Chain A
């Protein structure tokens, strides 16, 4: 029998606000334990939450970009459970009237993933276990960091679709400035609901929920593992149990955490400390008008306006900061294709070598634009320009100063080049003869000799042109041919 895997996702995304969702403490990642705290986010008796309007704005932006209907009168609810990382013993979340519903994400190849709902909530703190002292310590810095949770319908049929969706989601949220989506810092976290059914069946099988998926790779492997596990169970005549399972990265397997029977009763009820959130049509209209151009639109525009190949547009729009950088370089006068080549080659290469994201790099658009300009004007050779790039990348150094200080300006003086070409031809009669005999390789050798004599600073275009001309002359002038 062939089986179909059915997957739904719950994705938690940390919002990129400066302050927490219900108080004015910083959301900065890290920091010494319990230094980003106040009576509100540590749940001190008597303290009250006050909703950060920036959180609402980012959530609405995300909802709009995911094509959701925005709830005009949205409410918060309490999710009650005891755990030491949750100082109030309830999480303020949204159950009954979430901020957004009924969205859709196009993941390409004609596939659309429906969004069931999206809600706002607060993050919990962190427990740190000290095995040496056998103590568990609570760090409440993360308490109250704003999250949105995006819940899809069970529309995925493969790990590939899940990854495409997450990449699209990440790209969209980064473009909106809603989140930095750093999985390694936990600002994008994903739970996977998975079931299997015979191909063609319309009924859903019993699902499991997988947690602790910290990378796209882990998600992909966990899906493959869990689908196989469920299919094997059913083929052996056993039942899939509805439960929460934990992915163990090291063992490449999922383990049961708790079954439905042991599921907690969260006793949700409307949060009495936060009045219903009423959003006016004018407010939504204003946010709609402010939505930035998203990656997909940028890609289409780059292709249509500047004739960039699809591959280039994908690479450049992979990070919003990179696309912004690209557009700024073009706006400063660089040819779009030239700018694209530099960004896809040198910029991405340097970022990867330094382990940086585009938004963190020091290099500014004017620096790269100047470099491209020097190459275009023939004043810097492309290879030399790469060396200049590497020198200025980390500190956004001054291109002109560097070129001057290191004497790198390229020789485009045809007279000087002609002089050197003649010397080289005289000294390499054998290669000249080879060239005449049709060996194109000899031409390359001669170019190399000229470049070496000019210490690599000659314009390749000028060298090529002059060399071809002189070789032509030699053919026409046998006198030279006979010279030693």
Chain B
């Protein structure tokens, strides 16, 4: 068996047992990155000399190579958000997540490509070129954490840390056939995550399995005094609490997530996943969740409004890229921002600026906040009856490169199943549940109540005990890349 076929936990175990050395794992990762990067462009920055773990007993994942999405601050390592405007920005501090992982012996192999400022669903809006899906290089890996999902799918790293504002971990995980988890809002510190939409952003793992995700979350979750929105929730017990047993769990299927616009192969695969869980003893039933009709507009209004404010600091004054040839302050701002941001980022800044403007605030932003409250209420009500919800992650499998850029509205609408989870602040997980007729991965989404992260992971873990979709690898992966 090649090293890249192991899960992160298996590799960690072998490193601790001395079966594989840390250096061998790092060399295997570096070799795979070197082989895959020209094809999939998953990395923006590849570490020249990855720092090995100081102590191999620091955690179950000590010594295991991983990587960060490039919107997570890493001290002294450039952090671009895949934007020209932050092209030379090297943070003076580590994100809390990076600090915690580094203390746990994580070995960072570099920084992962993404949609510019996490805005997009295909990882094509990167200033550093689009990411390609390892399953089919003519297709998008999804986004915005496309580099993270592609790198894990291609066996370049054993897990990655992504961020999810409206599905940016779950949807690329689905398109790339890996497992991705957006935890409950506030369980993972956002300190050091370059904000897109602060009230919706949350970091989380993309890995080979639900168990790997649980192991990573054990290391990164927990109260952070540097993030006022971080919760004082119990940390460090997910992995050891997994039972793989869903007997008696009540799982709801919102019929509104299985209707018009959903690809029939995706529908069939997700319903088949429901059957697997039912066969394992879960009680699965359909119910109506009509608020789904409002989630996309509410999401884009809130996310863009916050983004317009969050991205105002990129003005060329203090750090990052500055345009040349300005006569005065106004021109410095205008030229830097006009030339420094890509089209999708500018579109969202303009949208957000508009909905916050005097005279429009009540009609758009305030209304969207009201819708958000209604959505949260509808989910709260659903969780009175169900332990978990099961939905598709995305209406389709991975689109062809370039297809979505020409029709942004269609791209926005494809976020329908994931954005509600962010609006309600809930935990959501994407797990592979099949392949379509083109051989592309399909993802199923499990959603839990706030702080129900364990139940979500446990149901996915149970499913992954029964199925092997999460072990499928893209074809054509070079075996020559592994360490000898």
Contact = CB atoms under 8 A, between A and B. Distances in A.
A38 to B, nearest CB: 9
A138 B199 CA distance: 30
Contacts of B95: 46
B94 to A, nearest CB: 10
Contacts of B229: 48, 272-275
Given A46-B191, A89-B312, A274 B228 contact: yes
A449 interface: no
A45 B228 contact: no
Nearest to A78: B309
Contacts of B192: 46-47
A46 B194 contact: yes
Interface string A20-40: 000000000000000000010
B73 A46 contact: yes
A172 interface: no
Given A46-B91, A87-B313, A51 B191 contact: no
Nearest to A82: B333
Contact of B79 (A45, A47, A88, A268): A45
B361 A269 contact: yes
Interface in B311-330: 312-315, 317-319, 329
Given A82-B312, A88-B313, A45 B91 contact: yes
Contacts of A138: 317-318
Contacts of A42: 318
Nearest to B359: A265
A46 B81 CA distance: 11
A265 B358 contact: yes
A48 B91 contact: no
A177 interface: no
B337 to A, nearest CB: 10
A275 B191 contact: no
A267 B229 CA distance: 22
B191 A47 contact: yes
B198 A45 contact: no
B356 A46 contact: no
A59 B396 CA distance: 53
Contacts of B338: none
Nearest to B312: A89
Contacts, number: 101
A90 interface: yes
Nearest to A80: B309
Contact of B93 (A44, A270, A272): A44
Nearest to A90: B309
A397 interface: no
Contacts of A90: 309, 312
A50 B225 contact: yes
A272 B198 contact: yes
Interface string B446-468: 00000000000000000000000
Contact of A84 (B225, B317, B361): B317
Contacts of B93: 39, 44, 47
B143 to A, nearest CB: 20
A43 interface: yes
B420 to A, nearest CB: 18
Interface string B465-482: 000000000000000000
Interface in B166-191: 190-191
A44 B369 CA distance: 27
A205 interface: no
Interface in B382-405: none
B25 interface: no
Contacts of B358: 265, 267
A269 B228 CA distance: 18
B56 interface: no
A293 B175 CA distance: 68
A361 B313 CA distance: 44
A89 B317 CA distance: 11
B115 interface: no
B270 interface: no
B228 A50 contact: yes
Given A39-B92, A46-B194, A272-B198, A80 B228 contact: no
Contacts of A47: 93, 191-192
Contacts of A80: 308-309, 312, 356
B86 A45 contact: yes
Interface in A247-301: 265, 267-270, 272-275
A42 B71 CA distance: 18
A49 interface: yes
Given A80-B309, A267-B357, A272 B228 contact: no
A87 B198 CA distance: 17
Given A43-B313, A51-B228, A78-B309, A272 B92 contact: no
Contacts of B305: 269
A80 B315 CA distance: 13
Interface in A205-263: none
| Most B CB within 10 A of own CB, among A42, A44, A88, A138 | A44
B124 interface: no
B353 interface: yes
B365 interface: yes
Interface string B410-454: 000000000000000000000000000000000000000000000
Nearest to B332: A84
Contacts of B225: 50
Interface in A132-188: 138
A45 B88 CA distance: 13
A46 B198 contact: no
Given A88-B313, A89-B315, A275-B228, A48 B356 contact: no
Contacts of A49: 228
B44 interface: no
A84 B190 CA distance: 26
Contacts of B227: 48, 50
B195 interface: yes
B356 A269 contact: yes
B156 interface: no
Contacts of B100: none
A274 B230 CA distance: 10
Nearest to B317: A84
Interface in B359-383: 361, 365, 369
A87 B333 contact: no
A80 B225 CA distance: 26
B237 interface: no
B306 interface: yes
Contacts of B79: 45-46
A45 to B, nearest CB: 4
B294 interface: no
Interface string B330-351: 0001000000000000000000
Contact of A273 (B89, B198, B312, B356): B198
Contacts of A84: 315, 317, 329
Nearest to A22: B228
Contacts of A272: 197-199, 229, 306
Contacts of B313: 43, 45, 87-89
Interface in A64-83: 78, 80, 82
Contact of B226 (A44, A48, A88): A48
A89 B194 CA distance: 15
6 contacts: A43-B318, A46-B195, A82-B312, A265-B358, A268-B356, A269-B356
Q: Which 8 A-B residue pairs are closest in the complex by CB-CB distance?
A: A89-B312, A272-B199, A267-B356, A272-B198, A45-B194, A46-B192, A46-B73, A50-B228
Given A39-B91, A45-B319, A87-B317, 8 more contacts: A42-B318, A45-B194, A48-B190, A50-B226, A50-B228, A80-B312, A84-B315, A84-B317
Interface of B: 71-73, 79, 81, 86, 89, 91-93, 95, 190-195, 197-199, 225-229, 305-306, 308-309, 312-315, 317-319, 329, 333, 353, 356-358, 361, 365, 369
Interface of A: 39, 42-51, 78, 80, 82, 84, 87-90, 138, 265, 267-270, 272-275
